[in-house]
Amino acid sequence: DWKAENIAEREIEKIKKLVGETGEVILGLSGGVDSAVAAVLVHRAIGDRLHCIFVDNGLLRKGERELVEHAFRDHVGLDLTTVDARKRFVDGLAGVTDPERKRKIIGNEFVEVFRVEAKRFQDARFLGQGTLYPDVIESVAVHGGNTAVIKSHHNVGGLPDDLDMELVEPLRELFKDEVREVGRYLGLDERILMRQPFPGPGLAVRIAGEITQERLDLLAEADAICTAEIEAAGAHKTLWQYFAVLLPVKSVGVMGDARTYENACALRIVESVDGMTADWGYLDHQLLRRISNRIINEVKGINRVVLDISSKPPATIEWE
Ligand code: XMP
């Protein structure tokens, strides 16, 4: 019978054996559950010989960097390096509107940033990754041939082989809900454990069209309000994802007795079991009203909020 405790202790033993008495591991934290649980397992096994790297690519949700630093540096006590690469990513994305090009640029930048950081840990021969069982299956299926690629998912962990490091992947036999159980057993922050999925390319694929620092800031603010209100109402428990998308359109509004001509954002709120198919989620009208009022009143630069009521398929969950 399946027990988080047994799995955790088994994986910790396996890591100890693989890495040995002196081996060092580098691991890229993404802020997501998988890399988090992988990191804590490796940390339990080898302590300070684990070096974690968190890349702030400027495409994160509001407060995300602080949450990661607090949870892992202060609470777990990991050796964590935050790399401030915001400018590099935003500059690299300037003028780019095609979603797949955005993903490609972000993926490449990530690899370069990670490569530079990893050089600082000369003695590290091992690379930790939060690869799950479904990832293992999926990559076999994709590499096996005929799967049409709709979106080329970039994850932290999409690192090139030429880093020439041995992989440490303690979640390779686990499913997502099992990973959460293991994380809970290890005492990981619930806010990290229960977070909704967030794509590797982050807010870049939630800004339809061109990305600028100003648009990133607008979206981060609107998204934080959407998330906070839904969570405060407890409505997130039945939802798979709930977030804001910044649209490439301006519209006319009126504020006091002045005319405005500002941005619009969409609320994307979906129910799903695995992200493969999804239904748009029903939210109470009062809750929707609060989200809309707060965004329009508090986020200067957004004067209209619309609700996305498309299911997947034929729409996808993300707009890009
Ligand atoms: P779509 O938009 O394809 O999304 O319906 C399905 C699930 O995948 C997530 N998603 C991504 N995750 N990198 C990721 O790590 C990506 O490029 C990416 N694109 C979409 C999306 O958030 C949803 O959970």
Q: What is the pLDDT of residue 261?
A: 98
Q: Does ligand 1 have an atom closer than 6 angstroms to the CB of 316?
A: yes
Q: What is the pLDDT of residue 48?
A: 96
The DSSP letter of residue 298 is H
Q: Does ligand 1 have an atom closer than 6 angstroms to the CB of 268?
A: no
Report ipTM (2 d.p.): 0.99
* 301 CB-near residues (< 8 Å, 6+ apart): 214, 218, 262, 263
Measure CA of the first residue to CA of the last residue in the chain; give whole Å. Answer: 41
Average confidence (pLDDT) per 10 residues, the chain, 320 residues: 92 98 96 96 98 98 96 95 98 98 96 93 94 81 54 60 86 93 95 92 98 98 98 96 98 94 98 95 97 98 98 97
For residues 25 and 123, give the distance between their C-alpha atoms in angstroms, rounded to a whole number: 9
CA of 208 from ligand 1 middle (Å) equals 15
For 118-257, where are the E strands, in sequence order? Answer: 124-128, 166-168, 241-255
Q: Does ligand 1 have an atom closer than 6 angstroms to the CB of 200?
A: yes
Q: Which domains does the chain have, with CATH numbers?
A: 4-193 (3.40.50.620), 207-307 (3.30.300.10)
Convert 63-76 to b/e letters by CB count within 10 Å (16 or more is b): ebbebbbebbbeeb
CB 121 within 8 A of CB 27: no
Q: Does ligand 1 have an atom closer than 6 angstroms to the CB of 201?
A: yes
Q: What is the pLDDT of residue 158?
A: 61
Give Rg (Cα) of the chain: 20
Comparing CA positions, the residue from 240, 241, 264, 242 lying closest to residue 252 is 264
Residue ranges of the binding site for ATP: 30-36
Predicted structure pTM score: 0.92
CA of 218 from ligand 1 middle (Å) equals 21
Which of 98, 101, 153, 203 has the most ligand 1 atoms within 8 A of CB, as the residue to mutate? 153
Apex 217 CA angle, 213 and 218, nearest 5: 120
Q: What is the pLDDT of residue 173?
A: 94
Residue 48 main-chain phi, psi, to 5 deg: -65, -10
